[in-house]
Structure 1
């Protein structure tokens, strides 16, 4: 009995909300007990009788010290003593409630403490260890699905900052990554996914103890291959190699400069199909840059007949960082553009070979500035395409072809730049990438430039310097991670300018609304419908939506959330 009481008290003390609820319940019970006792004692010792309602009003007035009604004076000492006890208990309860409500506010102002437990219960949620720009992008991608997210942070200052700045669906818990108490507070036993974005060895240590306490899928974002064997042994289910994903994504654009026969037989075409796939449906969301000398360059959008000839719909294009939604048909395609399509994966090769392959010339080489984690992967993949590469790096141990800073090497390499078809600025220094991009664009206006950027505020400047495509690493990694998470039979495929979301949603409700009703009630745009691998882009309002359809939707966060609820 005593143990049960102690357990109950510890449970109440573990949460501020539980303390408030317990105090209010206790206050109500005291008033109820005092009412019953006062009703009995008054009718027993006084000449006049009162009703239970009159007793309740008198007790409430006495306990809250707001008045004592018309029942005074009493003729018996028992009633005087009892009323005095009620007054004292009311003052004590009032002081308790003031302490309960005011103390946390003062404490948070004078000496704030980050939360060590959930502010509200959740299940089937995502637990995230670590916080950085990649995790921020992941939160932006999955937040609109209405998923509960628990973020665990070891640093007190960061935990306070994240508690104040992150969206309302994100609960931050302050605690050590490797403590079981922290795992229990985050309810890892009830979550659906666990995401790690820490150093590989720290992730391995935590997963080793955590994996036995949960059935959730454990996803680890890793920067290298050193822990590839160790992490699965510890219990990791999926490894996301950051440099491989970003490097291969950047290098695969060189496919557009190969011969059609080579392209069709290249195994990386299958990797592209896999990387752009969602959990359901046959459509693929792909981005295709316009390479100098490509078939599409210099032609209007309407003349290429993307929908009629290739069954791909052009959603928007990016022109030196400027987003152009539903571009007009008479717009001329140039090498400064990146086009974003949705369509059946089976037709991707036909789209690339029919509209975006560049004319192969004698000079088909690339300059890779930065031969580190990302540059080495890019060089490896470019060489698989038969493109010769010259790598530059300031680290003598890197194994680059030319040792030195990119700016100093390129300043005296006009002949090298003039013969290059691709230039990739992928060092870890944004300033280095910015100025080498500017130098190369000035020396060779026809070269295709891909620039890496670590700070999102510098992306517009990269485009101004002459980059054709800016690689923002956190966004690419977030998209890769989110393709591995499935909630409400929906996935976020892409975010346009941090405002519009593109999502894939499988219809699971038995009686879904028609297209017109869905558009009217949610404001959503339907990009495509996939029904048994038959893809239709433009749907009339009278078109029926059937269970099992896969809809590709575009809208704001609120619109996506409404559409998911209607179709679930």
Structure 2
């Protein structure tokens, strides 16, 4: 292998050549000028001495007066040349050399890659996933092309390799041993990385994170296993939280017709529900309704028994007879489901949100700083007048799809002040900022990193990350081992996070149960819960879904 001089060393050698050459040249010109223009000859050594003093601005000793204008001009210009050499060339040539010598050396080639995932370029989309990798002890390497970012990642104890893939594709020579590859650069760079990885003989899965779905077919054609567009999935997740038409609050509600409904209530500060245990409220006994769970800071948790605490500010998910739901709603605060959906931020994510909402038949109002097709209100979302023109106080939901997290935090606080009762869904760019946005008043906040992490974790990790959207479902189940139990008074049933909301017996659907009621073998139970809690229910009571009535 031919000997290669590192760039910093090459720059230092250049400096060591420039400085002596400059001193020798200026000293010779000074010697000739003094001899032929001033008539006071100087030796070459004296000329070099003068040049070094001028360049370093240390003074001229007894040589401090010149008569000839050319010499005077020459003497005036020379210190500026010295300033240029000292203050411009030294930082460019000397400092990088010493930085390279004294800092911990960056890796420039992949280490052994057995059972290791390679991530090409770091960014917010993989931020959450890498934290999950660290938590689970899974091995990974990041190939980064930005030197400053690579140093930052190294300081954070990430295993990082720095290089320019287009200039040195051989840096990925060991990728053949890797478990998987994730490309997280721009679409063009992702394509280049995919081709280089395949050229090195890698036969495992390559997952590409793309900006545009139209690039999926060509990316797969050149070697990608699958292509995901987290920004579009993020838009879909936000739209599903804003509209019940896109993501129905409970799958299978039609099974009970109008006998049982589902509602969401925000628990106000000072409400008689806030801060109390579910068992003390006796909502089932007094009103015949069941609290399935509560949304808090974007996470849905099912209730698990009478000790469950109702959090102030949480959104309760409650099922029961419609008239009784109205009574419970007055105790908390019903979530408005009429009025338009207001969106602020009409970038790539915002456009996807609006596209889905329009497809679902929702009435939308779009706020953006710049006028354009699809923008209804031009203005700053931080301006109360803009929010008033958009009608946020009468909206059924508000979506903030802003590109800057600092702006999103402040906008969340401003919007929450103007519309305290309206569900507020907020886009986050960097996952660590999610907590700040929740503190500012968001009901649901999600980042592109969470979406990409959820997608990739399914393919790369043995465990599946909690889904972005917890769906609630009604299911017709046979009794299993619940025969002889009361539908509402069963501690084991409560621990599964599910609720029996109705019992079908002899073609009659019962939704109220006195203390003597017991489940019989031929009954059909209408069970409500999240998908995970329904799975727990089926395992616990050795039961399964029954055929739907016709």
- Contact 1:292–1:448 (CA under 8 A) maintained in structure 2: no
- The Cα of 1:415 is off from its aligned counterpart by 7.4
The DSSP-based 3-state class of the residue aligned with 2:382 is helix
Match of 1:176 among 164, 183, 196: 164
Cα distance between partner residues in 1 of 2:296 and 2:250: 28
Cα distance between partner residues in 2 of 1:310 and 1:230: 53
Match of 1:221 among 191, 209, 215: 209
Which residue number in structure 2 is paired with residue 137 of structure 1?
128
Alignment of 1:37-436 (within 5 A): 110-119=102-111, 121-167=112-158, 171-178=159-166, 179-184=168-173, 187-212=174-199, 213-256=201-244, 292=266, 301=278, 318-319=296-297, 329-332=307-310, 336-337=314-315, 363-397=338-372, 399-408=374-383, 410-411=385-386, 413=388, 416-436=391-411
Alignment of 1:443-522 (within 5 A): 443-456=418-431, 458-486=433-461, 490-494=462-466
TM-score, structure 2 as length reference: 0.53
TM-score, structure 1 as length reference: 0.52
Cα distance between partner residues in 1 of 2:379 and 2:182: 38
For residues 429-448 of structure 1, the C-alpha deviation after alignment (integer angstroms, 9 at most, x for no partner) is 33433333223222222111
Cα distance between partner residues in 1 of 2:180 and 2:246: 40
- The Cα of 1:126 is off from its aligned counterpart by 0.6
Larger radius of gyration: 2
Cα distance between partner residues in 2 of 1:534 and 1:393: 43
Cα distance between partner residues in 2 of 1:400 and 1:229: 32
| Structure 2 gap segments, 5+ residues each | 4-97, 255-261, 318-324, 469-495, 499-530, 541-550
- The Cα of 1:474 is off from its aligned counterpart by 1.6
Cα distance between partner residues in 2 of 1:232 and 1:446: 46
Cα distance between partner residues in 2 of 1:328 and 1:140: 35
- Contact 1:290–1:334 (CA under 8 A) maintained in structure 2: no
Cα distance between partner residues in 1 of 2:535 and 2:253: 26
- The Cα of 1:118 is off from its aligned counterpart by 4.6
The DSSP-based 3-state class of the residue aligned with 1:115 is coil
Cα distance between partner residues in 2 of 1:214 and 1:310: 57
- Contact 2:267–2:316 (CA under 8 A) maintained in structure 1: no
- Contact 1:369–1:406 (CA under 8 A) maintained in structure 2: yes
- The Cα of 1:111 is off from its aligned counterpart by 4.5
Change in 2 beyond 3 A, CA 1:464/1:180: closer
Change in 2 beyond 3 A, CA 1:183/1:384: same
Cα distance between partner residues in 2 of 1:144 and 1:221: 22
Cα distance between partner residues in 2 of 1:495 and 1:393: 30
Change in 2 beyond 3 A, CA 1:453/1:410: farther
Cα distance between partner residues in 2 of 1:448 and 1:289: 14
- The Cα of 1:289 is off from its aligned counterpart by 11
The DSSP-based 3-state class of the residue aligned with 1:229 is helix
- Contact 2:412–2:441 (CA under 8 A) maintained in structure 1: yes
For residues 448-473 of structure 1, the C-alpha deviation after alignment (integer angstroms, 9 at most, x for no partner) is 11122334554444233322122233
For residues 255-298 of structure 1, the C-alpha deviation after alignment (integer angstroms, 9 at most, x for no partner) is 547897996699xxxxxxxxxxxxxxxxxxxxx9956599xx95
Cα distance between partner residues in 2 of 1:109 and 1:426: 45
Cα distance between partner residues in 2 of 1:400 and 1:262: 32
Cα distance between partner residues in 1 of 2:221 and 2:539: 48
Cα distance between partner residues in 2 of 1:325 and 1:118: 48
CA RMSD of aligned residues (A): 5.0
Cα distance between partner residues in 2 of 1:191 and 1:310: 54
Change in 2 beyond 3 A, CA 1:206/1:362: closer
Aligned residues: 356
- Contact 2:240–2:246 (CA under 8 A) maintained in structure 1: no
- Contact 1:301–1:332 (CA under 8 A) maintained in structure 2: yes
The DSSP-based 3-state class of the residue aligned with 2:188 is helix
- Contact 2:368–2:377 (CA under 8 A) maintained in structure 1: yes
For residues 489-537 of structure 1, the C-alpha deviation after alignment (integer angstroms, 9 at most, x for no partner) is x2241499xxxxxxxxxxxxxxxxxxxxxxxxxxxxx999x99x96469
- Contact 1:290–1:336 (CA under 8 A) maintained in structure 2: no
Cα distance between partner residues in 2 of 1:177 and 1:289: 54
For residues 95-130 of structure 1, the C-alpha deviation after alignment (integer angstroms, 9 at most, x for no partner) is xxxxxxxxxxx99762543012355x3413211100
Cα distance between partner residues in 2 of 1:321 and 1:313: 14
The DSSP-based 3-state class of the residue aligned with 1:220 is strand
The DSSP-based 3-state class of the residue aligned with 1:483 is helix
Cα distance between partner residues in 1 of 2:342 and 2:239: 12
- Contact 2:266–2:335 (CA under 8 A) maintained in structure 1: no
- Contact 1:483–1:492 (CA under 8 A) maintained in structure 2: yes
- The Cα of 1:135 is off from its aligned counterpart by 2.3
Cα distance between partner residues in 2 of 1:375 and 1:209: 34
Cα distance between partner residues in 1 of 2:267 and 2:339: 12
Change in 2 beyond 3 A, CA 1:245/1:148: same
The DSSP-based 3-state class of the residue aligned with 1:144 is helix
Cα distance between partner residues in 2 of 1:289 and 1:470: 21
Change in 2 beyond 3 A, CA 1:191/1:393: same
Cα distance between partner residues in 2 of 1:259 and 1:193: 33
